[in-house]
Structure 1
Amino acid sequence: MISLLIKERLYISEVVVGTAFGVLMGPHCANIFDPRSWGDHTQQITLEVMRVVLATGLFAIGVELPQSYLADHAKGLLVMVVPTMAFGWLVVAVAIFGIFGPLNYISALAVAACLTPTDPIICAAIVGGRYAIKHVPTNLRRILAAESAANDGMAYPFLSISIYLTVESSRRVAIAKWFLVGWLYEVILGTLIGTVMGIGFSKLMRISHNRGFIDRESYVAQYLALALFTIGVASSLGTDDLLAAFAAGSAVSWDGYFNMQTENEVFSSVIDLVLNCGCFVYIGAWMPFSDFNSPELGITPWRLVVLFIVIILIRRIPALLVLYHWVPEISGWKEALFSGHFGPMGVGAVFVSTLALNRLPKPNSPPQNQQEYLAASLQIIVSFIVLGSILIRMSFTSSS
């Protein structure tokens, strides 16, 4: 009832409103909605909720990019994704290792992998806002959206090498599995699956539409159906479902025909809004506020605050200030600074951290070894950083 006032006058996105409402409805306030009360099912439900919302958002970004955008802007996108992510992953791991004593550097790399990707849901909410449309150049908004989609799927290799080094007895075995499973099977095969499905869907729908077998409304409805079908196929095969969804969306819109048929339709925007709001209500209620002070794990509020400040300063800004000369879409150091600051963490971080817990042993209390320390502390650290990231994006957009 007051969404226009909040978004267009106060410049506060549905991300912040949804999270705040979730906190109010959650166990620490009204206690109406408590995802953590579901016991052993909480982790799996959280994983699948984040997966569906992320995949839909990534597919949407792929579809909404201009015709053959990824091919035309491959150089800038590659520079913004690979070296920037790698730099942030390594330096954030150093910070985590220095601040949280019980975690060794390999475990710190696993936590840092969850915080490496830029969240596409928060990104879309900010760069698609009225202020951004008026004041941020179109080329910069598009490259930030494409980067947020690509690097979410690219978090898999960073996480997998950390987990393999943690759980495998031999580094040789860990590196071999990382190359064969983490890269060849998950990333490359997942991207190929999404691309093939997107191209096949695009051709099939075009034939059906030209022959009058499908109306415009049903054509638009396939937007959501293909996103869910893609992640269903990719996750069933154990490949990178996030990259598959982004690849499918990009392939669907490659020739521009799908975009032309769905132009001026609001169905996809409504679906995105509903899913995003619901997801952040879930995250707000899911936040483990009582665990932010866990001295037995070496976690205290002041350590979490210090880590958050360090992440904001070093995770992306130094790398992009050095590399922006190789990114044609960034025209100067001010845009590089903006792009470096603009690295929200949200749904993607929660998803990757929950995925990591599925590959780690259930911790005892107190933890008995490094694997259990990582399993016990990973999501506490990640959830605090996500909360801080949501709050700082609110202050940033409001001040803008």
Structure 2
Amino acid sequence: MLRRDAPRIRVRRVPTFDRETAAGGYVGTYLDLSHLNLTLAITGGIVLLLGLVGGYIRNTFWISEPIVATLVGIALGPALLGIMPGIHPSTHPGAFMHELARLTLALAVMSAAIRLPMTYISDNWRSLTIVIGGGMIVMWLIGSILAAFCFSFGWMAALLVGAVVSPTDPVLAGVVTSGSIAERNIPGRIRHLLCAESGLNDGLAMVVVALPMILMQHADAAALSDWAIEIVLWEVIGGIVVGAAIGWVAMHLLKWSRRRALSETHSTLTIGIALAVTTLAVVRLMGSDGILAAFVAGAFLNRAIDDSERIHEHIQEAIGRFFILPIFLVFGAALPWQQWFSMGWPVLVFALAVLCLRRMPLFLLLGKIVPDIHTRRETLFAGWFGPMGISSLFYATLAVQETGFEQVWPITALVVLASVVAHGITAMPLVRRISTDMCEET
């Protein structure tokens, strides 16, 4: 996020875990190291089980793997069985959930960048500019208006909540942008548009998240200067430059290695994961965030991967599943049930309103001017599949740590849960029924 020497941003430390308050805190962010092996065994076993029967569950019951992982987390977590002792709710979000979300996002955006055609971003910059440039701002404002309507806090807090739920999640979007079923039924330009959008706007969302976050602490002209320097120049532009530099080096090293037959095709998978982790760590050590840098680095690495290597994408998805599903397991175990009950109907109304109104009206208005969207069916399809997930959790935990505004966590958690369920249930039937008609029209 912000540089460690930034004078105006205060990072709140995670309080000591209190077992007496564990049953109803905001989020599972405390990792009990004494039970780490049990937690890893449960997590690994669930991922193994989903790997064995995930296809049957998805094709038979039409529910996605993130839904299953979240439900298992709920069942095993403190809310029900309480047999995942390594993950406990504490009083507010902290480092564990935040860093787990950061690593998951870095791997997800790297995977999204590698899945895109080699020159997609440069060839389709008009569509991306409309969907990401104008689209993210509109989704931010719509979410903020809904937050101001549903809750009693002020406009600055509403702008923060709206910003947190504005990015499209690459993990959940991958349900309809990757895999053989998606490739057979959805036109490539739609899949690639959703994939690129979800990969890019996770890092760019820092611009809209940080503005209200800084203004909530320092509502003066200096705050705007900090935002412009620390966020726009350092986080975004700096992240792009650093990610491009790391990706450029990795691209040329891979090409050099291939020319001398020093590496094999399947090593690309390892290189992609290693590049995501390396980029994330390097940029983090520099005091920045790293999500956007990971996507840019992946886009450069993509230029060194030829079409023959893309047949191994299913292997990459399998590896990605191992890194991605655990966070949904943790998320399910950490859901803030008591906070939802205490907040009452407004939080439920907000979650449902965001699900229906945050994105669809935007695409109905902009669909006709996006070059990659050709028909009304495609407009409806792209307008619906803009899920909120790990990226929103990442920014929610960041907002709580930086501002102490703890309500952003239970609000975001319910929005993400609603999105996981709604988009996970509708993905398979709509891909098979609606997108088949789209292919016929094109």
Answer with 56-65 or 230-239: which moved more. 230-239
**Shift of the alpha carbon at 1:41?**
10
- What amino acid is aligned across from residue 183 of structure 2 in structure 1? I
TM-score, normalized by length of structure 1?
0.89
- 1:35-184 alignment to 2 at 5 Å? 37=88, 39=90, 43-101=94-152, 103-129=153-179, 131-170=181-220, 172-184=221-233
Unaligned runs of 5+ in 1: 362-374
User: Which residue of structure 1 aligns with residue 326 of structure 2?
Assistant: 278
Counterpart Cα distance in 2 of 1:337 and 1:212: 47
**Shift of the alpha carbon at 1:346?**
0.8
Residues 46-97 of structure 1: per-residue CA shift (max 9 Å, x gap): 1111111110010011011111110001110110011111111112111111
Counterpart Cα distance in 1 of 2:252 and 2:429: 45
Tell whether the 8 Å contact from 2:175 to 2:427 is kept in structure 1 after alignment: no
**Shift of the alpha carbon at 1:23?**
0.8
Tell me which of 278, 287, 292 is aligned to 1:238: 287
Counterpart Cα distance in 2 of 1:17 and 1:186: 35
Tell whether the 8 Å contact from 1:36 to 1:42 is kept in structure 2 after alignment: no
Counterpart Cα distance in 2 of 1:223 and 1:100: 43
Counterpart Cα distance in 2 of 1:205 and 1:398: 36
**Shift of the alpha carbon at 1:127?**
2.8
Answer with 56-65 or 260-269: which moved more. 260-269
Q: Residue 53 of structure 1: SS of its match in structure 2?
A: helix
Q: Residue 94 of structure 2: SS of its match in structure 1?
A: helix
How many residue pairs get aligned? The number is 379
Counterpart Cα distance in 2 of 1:217 and 1:395: 33
User: Which residue of structure 2 aligns with residue 316 of structure 1?
Assistant: 359
Tell whether the 8 Å contact from 1:50 to 1:350 is kept in structure 2 after alignment: yes
Tell whether the 8 Å contact from 1:113 to 1:158 is kept in structure 2 after alignment: yes
User: Which residue of structure 2 aligns with residue 369 of structure 1?
Assistant: none
**Shift of the alpha carbon at 1:131?**
4.5
Inter-CA distance 274–36: structure 2 relative to 1 (3 Å threshold): closer
**Shift of the alpha carbon at 1:267?**
4.0
Counterpart Cα distance in 2 of 1:394 and 1:220: 26
Counterpart Cα distance in 2 of 1:311 and 1:393: 13
**Shift of the alpha carbon at 1:182?**
1.2
Counterpart Cα distance in 1 of 2:93 and 2:160: 21
Counterpart Cα distance in 2 of 1:165 and 1:347: 25
**Shift of the alpha carbon at 1:261?**
4.3
Tell me which of 363, 367, 378 is aligned to 1:335: 378
Counterpart Cα distance in 2 of 1:36 and 1:264: 34
Tell whether the 8 Å contact from 1:8 to 1:130 is kept in structure 2 after alignment: no
Tell me which of 384, 390, 396 is aligned to 2:420: 390
- What amino acid is aligned across from residue 142 of structure 1 in structure 2? H
Q: Residue 37 of structure 1: SS of its match in structure 2?
A: strand
Q: Residue 240 of structure 2: SS of its match in structure 1?
A: helix
Query: Does residue 197 in structure 1 map to residue 240 in structure 2?
Result: no
**Shift of the alpha carbon at 1:334?**
2.4
Tell whether the 8 Å contact from 1:202 to 1:252 is kept in structure 2 after alignment: yes
Answer with 340-349 or 39-48: which moved more. 39-48
**Shift of the alpha carbon at 1:220?**
3.3
Query: Does residue 357 in structure 1 map to residue 400 in structure 2?
Result: yes
TM-score, normalized by length of structure 2?
0.81
Residues 205-260 of structure 1: per-residue CA shift (max 9 Å, x gap): 22123223334444431121111000111122122411111101111112544x54
Tell whether the 8 Å contact from 1:304 to 1:381 is kept in structure 2 after alignment: yes
Tell me which of 298, 304, 312 is aligned to 1:264: 312
Inter-CA distance 27–167: structure 2 relative to 1 (3 Å threshold): same
Counterpart Cα distance in 2 of 1:95 and 1:41: 24
**Shift of the alpha carbon at 1:263?**
3.9
Counterpart Cα distance in 2 of 1:65 and 1:329: 14
Q: Residue 303 of structure 2: SS of its match in structure 1?
A: coil
Inter-CA distance 237–333: structure 2 relative to 1 (3 Å threshold): same
Counterpart Cα distance in 2 of 1:42 and 1:378: 10
**Shift of the alpha carbon at 1:36?**
5.6
Residues 261-302 of structure 1: per-residue CA shift (max 9 Å, x gap): 4643654222211112111111111111121022xxxx21x2
Counterpart Cα distance in 2 of 1:167 and 1:84: 27
Tell me which of 258, 271, 279 is aligned to 1:209: 258
Q: Residue 293 of structure 1: SS of its match in structure 2?
A: helix
Unaligned runs of 5+ in 2: 1-51, 431-442
